[in-house]
Amino acid sequence: MSRKLPLSDSEISRTACARTLVHCGVDEKTGELLTATVLAERVDWCIGLATSMVSLLLGEHWNATDVDTLNAGVDAGGRKLPSNAWMALRRLGWTVDAPAKVNDRIVRAAQEQAGRALRSVKWRADVVAGVLATWPAGPKKRTESEWEAVRAAIPGGEHLLSSVIRSRTRQIARFQQKNGRLPADLFEVEPAPRVARMLLLAACDGQQASIERSVTEPAKVLLRLQLPTRPDPQAYADWTWVECPITLPPTVPANAVTHLPTLRIVGGRVRADLAYTHPVPKAKRSGHTAALGVDWGLNTLLSAGAARLHDEGTITALGAGAQFRASGVLAKQYRLRRLSERLHAKTDQYTRLADPALDGKNAVLAEEIRRVCERRSNLNDALAWSAARWAVDQAVAAGATAIYLEDLRSMEAGGMGRTQNTRMSQTVRGQIAIRMRHLAAEVGIAVVTVPPANTSKHCPGCLTPLRHRKAPDRPTVSGWKWALCPNQECGWQGDRDQGAWRRIAARGLAHQTKTVVDKTNGTMVIREVLDKMEAKAVIAAAPKSSRNDRSKTDPTRPRSNRLTPRRREVPSPIRPCGPAGKCPEGHAPTDRTRLPRAAHRRQGVTTMSTPTTGHRPRGAALGAGFHLHAHVTPPRWAEPAPKFTVAWDHLADQRRCGTRGACPA
């Protein structure tokens, strides 16, 4: 199969990863069918050999001199180092002795894994070196001149997040408090990283592994690789070829080119992280006329809406926007966090007691902690994928070609109370943004981060500072949820988050010519707000229709010829106890009592303030699943309403009677 991917002018290649399980294998030498357990054992032997060599390489070269040499990009002779990490390590002469008789390709995989770790630590080492070179007089609070000095000492520090510098400062301060001196560099503060147990087959060639996609069945691939028959192979005869059929998930396109996977052992089974390359539409940095603005929140995790840039330069909102509320999911996450904290407290107490009789209880607690952590991780992962998919679907439905996010990576939880700080620190904003970029790239939508300054403070219609109140029916009580514009000519009021996404979308459309690609991670970002462009980042009010204009613009709605009585001709019975019986009188519903769904609520000017009884999620008490706790509002874009059919009157009568069948006379 050709590894060259044909592309058109409007397409680019994109590499993604799909997680699959390897259920079985066939030993080519003996023809023996290897079960999942036997295959996992042999793969684990191979991973163990590679991991031991990675540990030796990291332990030997975990110092500033070797890391700088590797990241300099040239060898001792002045030649440029290869991009592949294993080739760069061999050019520098950094070899390792294998613990057993292994193929040279296994040594390649170990060198590739170690080289990637040594290359990635360079950025952290530069940050720590810059902080040490400009160590402040008061580590807890820098002055303005000290902030300028530390940013100048760090490569690319002018765009570095303040939270990163603060976290490294706290790390160095703890070392100073413990040892009575400042460290020399990062490698004195952090030990060599723990080696992940995995096998990078991407560094191998056909002598160790190969992969081929089936022509007749595109969802099938055949992975061939050499695996040891014993944990300590003594000769090449102890390695045999194994054929492993793999079923691809439906997310992998039929025209995608597959690459050699990375093998891991998860839960006693072999998991293959299979990389594939496929063509996708090319996302543009500028030239957008419709964009989706997304605002972050706590209870309302995402608030999003679309805006359109017209030819004359005005920006209008497309509809009322929508929200993704995950209060039930976050409540479950908080309960799991408190449970994890209690389990860790018990484990620490047993460790302090140092009683051998408590070793059994300590082992049980360790296993329970692992399970709780896994549940928290799975819940965060599901929430991130669900929120990202919802945001991308909103953009597709609105016809937007860009999604503008406010850059809140530098936001830290502090000074807002213990509960609020914990909630802010445990949100999954970063994971949602990563998955949003992943899903948006599939449809050619650009995801751009914009500066978050004043997105919730200024009015989206006139940029006047807003007045925040507790609720629309309490305009004199200070709060943060409801916003009112004091400008009499504008008079905008609405939910704080609804105004924020309008500001974000308008700012992104007005500053789209300033979009750049971050060289460190390849993401699109608008770094600064210009006053001249910000003055145009306002949402123009929709034109109001005059009530005096009664001109006819649409055809007359067809009416049904069926004569339906407007009232009952006979008295209706009382409501029956069971589900059977005639339609009851009045507007009493006949279906079962449903759980309250927050997605059906609308917050307008007449909305009452939040009740004081507190939030009691019934779904959580009943042990319901994830989607019962994540509520979204459907998109209401500025499009004409659908025309009614001839059965409109008949359906209205059915709703009035409370039935879906024939209305009883």
Q: Quick check: 405 and 447 in contact, CB under 8 A?
A: yes
Q: What is the mean pLDDT of residues 319-336?
A: 86
Q: Say whether pLDDT at 558 is over 90.
A: no
pLDDT of 546 reads 58
The DSSP result for 155-175, as a single string, is TTGGGS-HHHHHHHHHHHHHH
pLDDT of residue 301: 87
- Of 224, 279, 225, 273, nearest to 257 (Cα)? 279
Asked whether the beta carbons of 557 and 648 are under 8 A apart, the reply is yes
Give the mean pLDDT of 346-356. 90
Q: Is the pLDDT of residue 656 over 60?
A: no
Say which residue the tokens 């070793």 belong to: 359
CA distance 200 to 263: 7
Facing residues of 13 across strands?
Answer: 279
Question: Which pLDDT score is estimated for 596?
Answer: 47
Q: Report yes or no: 307 and 290 within 8 Å, Cβ to Cβ.
A: yes
Neighbouring-strand partners of residue 406 = 450
Cα gap 158→150, rounded to integer Å: 9
Mean pLDDT of the chain: 83
For 510-533, write each residue's pLDDT tens digit. 999 999 998 878 899 998 899 999
- CA-CA distances (angstroms) from residue 207 to 235, 239, 240, 350? 16, 12, 12, 51
Tokens standing for residue 56 = 């030796």
For 14, 18, 174, 271, the CA distances from 252, given in Å and listed in that order, are: 12, 7, 47, 16
The residues near 595 (Cβ < 8 Å, ≥ 6 apart) are 618, 619, 628
Distance CA 317, CA 543 (A): 12
* Residue 595 in this model has a pLDDT that exceeds 60: no
In angstroms, the CA 367 to CA 359 distance is 12
SS3 108: helix
pLDDT category of residue 628 using cuts at 50, 70 and 90:
low
CA dist 662 and 582 (Å) reads 11
Q: What is the pLDDT of residue 659?
A: 47
Spatial contact of 90 and 108, defined as CB atoms under 8 Å apart: no
Identify whether the C-beta of residue 329 lies closer than 8 Å to the C-beta of residue 381.
no
For residue 644, pLDDT over 50 is answered with no
Residue 453 confidence (pLDDT): 86
- In which band, very low, low, confident or very high, does the pLDDT at 468 lie, cut at 50, 70 and 90? confident
**Sorting pLDDT into bands at 50, 70 and 90, what band is 160?**
confident
Query: Quick one: DSSP state of residue 231?
Result: S
Domain ranges in the chain are 11-38+208-281, 50-189, 290-330+382-534
**Position 616 confidence tier, pLDDT thresholds 50, 70, 90:** low
Given CA atoms 490, 496, 498, 499 in this order, what sign does their dihedral have?
A: positive
Distance CA 374, CA 389 (A): 22
Q: What's the pLDDT tens digit per position in 415-429?
A: 555 565 565 566 688
How many whole angstroms separate alpha carbon 292 and alpha carbon 307?
Answer: 6
Of the pLDDT bands very low, low, confident and very high (cuts 50, 70, 90), residue 140 is confident
Fold of the domain built from segment(s) 290-330+382-534 = Nucleotidyltransferase; domain 5 (3.30.420)
Average pLDDT of span 386-400: 93
- Burial zone of 193 (CB within 10 Å; 0-12 exposed, 13-18 middle, 19+ buried): middle
Instruction: Specify which residues 447 forms β-bridges with.
Output: 403
Residues 6+ away with beta carbon under 8 Å from 621? none
Q: What pLDDT is attached to residue 578? A: 53
Cα–Cα dist 164/142, whole Å: 14
Neighbouring residues of 198: CB distance < 8 A, sequence distance ≥ 6: 47, 113, 262, 263, 264
Task: State the pLDDT at residue 354.
Answer: 85
Outline where 62-198 has alpha helix (H). 64-71, 85-91, 104-133, 144-153, 162-179, 186-189
pLDDT in tens, 21-66: 999 999 999 999 999 999 999 999 999 999 999 999 999 999 999 9
Report in angstroms the alpha-carbon separations of 547 from 544, 557, 638: 9, 20, 20
Closest of 89, 176, 170 to residue 127, by C-alpha: 170
147: pLDDT strictly greater than 50: yes
Q: What was the pLDDT predicted at 419?
A: 60
User: In which band, very low, low, confident or very high, does the pLDDT at 629 lie, cut at 50, 70 and 90?
Assistant: low
Can you give the pLDDT at residue 333? 86
Q: What pLDDT is recorded for position 107?
A: 94
Separation of alpha carbons 196 and 55, rounded Å: 10
Asked if residues 510 and 533 have their Cβ atoms less than 8 Å apart, the reply is: yes
Ramachandran assignment for 45, one of left (phi > 0), alpha (psi -120 to 50 degrees), beta (any other): alpha
Helices (H) and strands (E) in the chain, counts: 15, 22
pLDDT digits (tens, 9 = 90+) for 176-230: 999 999 999 999 999 998 899 999 999 999 999 999 998 888 899 999 999 999 9
Distance CA 70, CA 192 (A): 16
| pLDDT tens per residue across span 266-295 | 989 999 999 999 999 999 999 999 999 999
Question: Of how many residues is the chain composed?
Answer: 665
| Weakest mean pLDDT among 350-364, 408-422, 494-508 | 408-422
pLDDT at residue number 198: 95
